[in-house]
């Protein structure tokens, strides 16, 4: 009896110790409510327990992963107050643009209350009105400086007129409207939609998927579900495993909309609510679905070293967005081709569009794909009137580099290996086994180990400017790029224009063109050419160019900042190409075989 009593007392002591330890663990809980959604506000209450310090700093991220721009989310925070466990106000001080210091005085319980304004339509910013609320977590939830690894709970109290919550966060059993995140990286990667969205589900690749349609639309649920299943299954087949148990598509349907942002087990998409019955628009939406879903593996898990763990206070620089976004931009259309949503012709047209975009952009001679990746923070998301002359998109050029890599691997291994295989191997090596990101050279080395093919030329091309040698790779699989403008001698002024209030305004001037050399500026109003006044729609400008020849001199009357000037412009040759991808006329049997593997729907 004495031994049994000792054991019982020991068990009680251990149980008490465990309970005490659990009770003393730091805990963060958020309560989200909507008192004035019509005014575009969300109210946040942040409860912090067991961080007994003289002061704590709470911070708002300045950017959100996947969208490489410092957006200064703290600008939308107002009315921040802090209280101890007895509701006594605590002194707070804003010490920099996104940090508030709270004199917590070693209190065990601390509450921070604040409001966030949200009225920006995008996939990465808060939007709240009387119909729904979309919360981008990085722009909504504060974190305690130095404690990003803490778990967090979020209780959402919908407005009385709303009934549904859609999010990738894990629900807490027995607590309606309450969700949990293992740490703040996961919290910031889990957008939340609250309202009366149309929700339907499907299962694919062993994963439950939820689609939350916001804003109505003419979508066909049955068709959309079937097509999304095909995309999910095809993407999963590349990597051999789907890492989620549940995945959420939040789709915002606008009069005119677009864009997407990937997350760990969800995505936010923008679409045109009446575009689902237009075949071209619908296939474009499926391409967006494929793009963001591919990111589930490629960037959210397989990633460069620089993209996680994140610094939420500043830019996170990487030269590898041409790999992460560019490869994804290659695979989105390739997935549509494999699913049968794109014909061979329409798929090749999509690739040709990328070639035309890159090759006809003067910035291609100035900025490399790697530099475009690094400078995304200051260039890609902040375009201006000169961007076409100084920069490129790592999406377009990255997709073309991915195509070249895929074709080189196919040709070099007699069709046995391709880009699918090396991405699957990279996912297993870096994400599953090493549990970290990769360096570019590591990825290049792994590709060469898996395939036995040197790919230094592709990686070198990503770090250099200028045109790519597409036919070196396309010819190997029985295709070629041709320029339909080759041999044509046409004059070009080198400007883009818009018409506003009957005025023809210059919106862009191409580097090295006649307009560039003669000093025509963006925002100039073109009044007349060769003594002929332009009509209210600018048609006279088109007529002059259609009847002019290379070397002709135009006398262009402009208004600049209210002053009239006449410029002498000598027309130059239009150097822009019109590129297309077509089958090689004399392709060998082997080239044709490799081409079929490349574009196969099997």
The 10s digit of each residue's pLDDT in 280-334 is 999 999 999 999 999 999 999 999 999 999 999 999 999 999 999 999 999 999 9
- The SS3 call for residue 93 is strand
Section 473-488 average pLDDT: 97
pLDDT at 535: 85
Answer yes or no: are the C-beta atoms of 362 and 388 closer than 8 Å. Answer: yes
Q: How far apart are CA 457 and CA 460, in angstroms?
A: 5
Which one, of 108, 124, 6, lies nearest residue 56 by Cα? 108
335-366 residue pLDDT tens: 999 999 999 999 999 999 999 999 999 999 99
Counting Cβ atoms within 10 Å, is residue 504 exposed (0-12), middle (13-18) or buried (19+)? buried
Band of residue 22 on the pLDDT scale cut at 50, 70, 90: low
Is the predicted pLDDT of residue 584 greater than 70, yes or no?
A: yes
Average pLDDT over every residue of 532-544: 84
417: left (phi over 0), alpha (psi -120 to 50) or beta: beta
| CA count, 13 A, side-chain hemisphere, 477 | 27
Q: How far is residue 37's CA from residue 45's CA, in Å, rounded to a whole number? A: 16
What distance, in Å, lies between the first and last C-alpha atoms of the chain? 73
Spatial distance between the Cα atoms of 4 and 329, rounded to a whole number of angstroms: 68
DSSP state of 150: S
Smallest CA-to-CA distance from 229 within 210, 205, 263, 250 is with 205
Answer yes or no: are the C-beta atoms of 400 and 355 closer than 8 Å.
Answer: yes
Q: Which of 272, 270, 273 minimizes the C-alpha distance to 259?
A: 270
pLDDT band at 23 (very low <50, low <70, confident <90, very high): low
Percent of the chain with pLDDT over 90: 92
Cα gap 172→163, rounded to integer Å:
18
How many Cα atoms are found within 13 Å in the side-chain-facing hemisphere of 557? 10
Binned at pLDDT 50, 70 and 90, residue 243 comes out as very high
Could you tell me whether strands 127-128 and 27-33 are parallel, antiparallel, or unpaired per DSSP bridges? unpaired
Cα–Cα distance, 412 to 414 (Å, whole number): 6
pTM, 2 dp: 0.94
Q: Which two tokens stand for residue 60?
A: 């708002």
pLDDT confidence tier of residue 15, bands split at 50, 70 and 90: very low
524 burial class (0-12, 13-18, 19+ CB within 10 angstroms)? Answer: buried
Upper half-sphere CA count for residue 124 (Cβ side, 13 Å): 19
What CA–CA distance (Å, rounded) separates 35 from 347? 49
Residue 169 pLDDT more than 60? yes
Nearest to 545 by CA among 504, 583, 581, 585: 504
Q: Quick: pLDDT tens for 423-465.
A: 999 999 999 999 999 999 999 999 999 999 999 999 999 999 9
What contacts 24+ positions apart, CB below 8 Å, involve 273-280?
273/215, 273/216, 273/217, 273/218, 274/217, 274/218, 275/218, 276/217, 276/218, 276/219, 276/220, 276/224, 277/218, 277/220
The closest alpha carbon to 600, from 439, 396, 366, 410, belongs to 410
Give CA–CA dist 209/289, Å, rounded: 13
Counting other chains too, the contacts that 436-439 makes at CB distance below 8 Å and 24 or more residues apart are 436/305, 437/303, 437/304, 437/305, 437/306, 437/307, 437/308, 438/302, 438/303, 438/304, 438/305, 439/304, 439/305
At 81-106, the pLDDT tens digits run: 999 999 999 999 999 999 999 999 99
Residues forming beta bridges with residue 555, ordered by sequence position: 568
Q: How far apart are CA 218 and CA 273, in angstroms?
A: 6
């Amino acid at each position: 009896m004495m031994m049994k009593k000792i054991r019982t007392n020991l068990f009680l002591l251990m149980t008490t110790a465990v309970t005490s330890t659990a009770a003393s663990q730091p805990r963060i809980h958020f309560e989200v409510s909507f008192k004035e959604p019509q005014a575009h506000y969300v109210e946040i209450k942040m409860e912090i327990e067991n961080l007994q310090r003289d002061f704590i700093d709470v911070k708002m991220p300045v950017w959100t992963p996947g969208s490489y721009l410092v957006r200064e989310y703290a600008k939308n925070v107002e009315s921040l107050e802090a209280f101890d466990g007895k509701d006594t106000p605590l002194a707070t001080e804003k010490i920099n643009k996104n940090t508030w210091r709270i004199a917590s005085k070693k209190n065990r319980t601390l509450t921070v209350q604040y409001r966030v304004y949200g009225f920006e339509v995008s996939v990465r910013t808060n939007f709240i009105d009387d119909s729904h609320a979309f919360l981008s977590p990085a722009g909504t939830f504060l974190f305690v400086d130095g404690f990003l690894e803490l778990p967090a709970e979020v209780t959402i109290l919908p407005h009385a007129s709303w009934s549904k919550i859609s999010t990738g966060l894990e629900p807490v059993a027995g607590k309606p409207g309450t969700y949990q995140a293992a740490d703040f990286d996961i919290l910031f990667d889990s957008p939340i939609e609250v309202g009366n969205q149309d929700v339907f589900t499907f299962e694919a690749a062993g994963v439950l998927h939820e689609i939350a349609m916001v804003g109505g639309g003419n979508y066909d649920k049955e068709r959309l579900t079937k097509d999304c299943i095909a995309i999910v299954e095809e993407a999963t087949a590349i990597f051999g495993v789907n890492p989620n148990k549940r995945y959420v598509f939040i789709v915002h349907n606008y009069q005119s909309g677009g864009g997407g942002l990937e997350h760990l087990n969800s995505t936010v998409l923008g679409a045109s609510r009446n575009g689902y019955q237009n075949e071209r628009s619908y296939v474009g939406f499926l391409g967006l679905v494929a793009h963001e879903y591919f990111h589930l593996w490629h960037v959210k898990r397989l990633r460069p070293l620089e993209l996680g763990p994140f610094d939420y206070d500043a830019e996170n620089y990487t030269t590898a967005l041409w790999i992460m976004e560019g490869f994804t931009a290659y695979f989105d259309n390739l997935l549509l081709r494999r699913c049968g949503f794109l014909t061979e012709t329409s798929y090749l047209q999509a690739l040709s569009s990328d070639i035309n975009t890159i090759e006809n952009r003067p910035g291609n001679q100035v900025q490399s794909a790697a530099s475009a990746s690094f400078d995304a923070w200051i260039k890609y998301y902040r375009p201006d009137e000169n961007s076409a002359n100084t920069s490129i998109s790592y999406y377009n050029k990255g997709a073309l580099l991915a195509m070249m890599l895929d074709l080189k691997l196919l040709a070099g291994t007699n069709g046995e290996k391709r880009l699918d295989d090396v991405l699957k191997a990279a996912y297993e090596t870096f994400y599953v086994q090493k549990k970290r990101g990769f360096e570019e050279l590591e990825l290049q080395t792994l590709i060469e180990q898996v395939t036995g093919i040197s790919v230094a030329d592709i990686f070198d091309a990503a770090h250099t400017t200028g045109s790519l040698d597409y036919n070196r790779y396309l010819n190997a699989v029985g295709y070629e790029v041709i320029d339909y403008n080759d041999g044509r001698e046409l004059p070009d002024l080198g400007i883009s224009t818009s018409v506003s209030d009957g005025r023809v305004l210059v919106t862009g001037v191409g580097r090295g063109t006649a307009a560039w050399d003669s000093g025509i500026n963006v925002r100039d109003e073109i009044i007349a050419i060769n003594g002929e006044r332009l009509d209210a729609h600018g048609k006279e400008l088109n007529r002059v160019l259609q009847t002019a020849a290379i070397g002709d001199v135009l006398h262009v009357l402009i208004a600049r900042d209210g002053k009239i000037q006449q410029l002498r412009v000598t027309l130059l040759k239009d150097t822009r190409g019109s590129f297309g991808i077509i089958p090689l006329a004399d392709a060998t049997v082997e080239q044709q075989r490799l081409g079929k593997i490349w574009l196969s729907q099997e």
